[in-house]
Amino acid sequence: MPGLTRWLRTGMLLAAWAVCGSTLAQSSPNVPQGAMLPKDSVDAATFRGGLVYANYCVTCHGINADGNGRAARLYNPKPANLRMSDKNDAYLGLMIRKGGAALGRSEFMPTWEAELTNEQITDLVAYLRSINATKR
Ligand code: HEC
């Protein structure tokens, strides 16, 4: 059965290629194990922050972070347009941690410190910085 032999040979070649490829990737000093990005880079924090944002903030602030989430019309003042925020990182972190009421703003901006870890909050700030359209 020449067809089967050829098929088997191709399969073995592919397997050998896959094994060599993964061994090469593992032994390369610049490729972090099991991750696409080094854990502590700003890029990694921004990436993780985007995931947290998508889980907890989209309903009010919207998928584009422009303050037009599905629930936005329920609130006055509206959820902030986070792309246009003129606040610094410290303020953003405080707002996320403590919520609107604690900072004399709308009580409908919830406090997140019981819900999210410190890392998640820092990551959110990195994400918000990365999408900010003002030159701060
Ligand atoms: C239930 C609706 C709601 C949810 C959910 C929500 N927010 Fe808000 N947020 C608001 C409202 C309303 C304001 C406006 C407060 C004001 O102007 O007084 C606000 C304001 C803010 C501000 C202040 C921005 C500025 O420039 O002053 C930040 C930062 C913020 N939200 C971040 C977040 C993040 C991050 C999340 C997700 C973890 C989130 N919010 C989830 C309603 C929400």
Residue closest to 124 by CA, chosen among 89, 84, 77: 89
pLDDT beyond 90 at 62: yes
Is the shortest distance between the CB of 100 and ligand 1 below 6 Å? yes
Do residue 46 and residue 24 come from a single domain?
A: no
Q: Which residues of 53-78 are buried (b: 16+ CB within 10 A; e: fewer)?
A: beebbeebbbeebbbebeebeebeeb
The 10s digit of each residue's pLDDT in 11-60 is 555 554 554 444 444 444 554 455 566 668 889 999 999 999 999 999 99
Which ligand 1 atom lies nearest to the CA of residue 78? 12
Could you tell me the CATH number of the domain that includes residue 94? 1.10.760.10
Mean pLDDT score across all residues of the chain: 84
Residue 97: inside a domain? yes
The reply to whether 15 and 56 lie within a common domain is no
Domain that holds residue 7: 1-29
Quick one: pLDDT band at residue 126, thresholds 50, 70, 90?
very high
Look at the chain and report how many structural domains it folds into.
2
- The one-letter code for the residue type at 48 is R
**Is the distance from the beta carbon of residue 129 to the nearest atom of ligand 1 less than 6 Å?**
no
Looking at residue 4, what is its pLDDT? Answer: 61
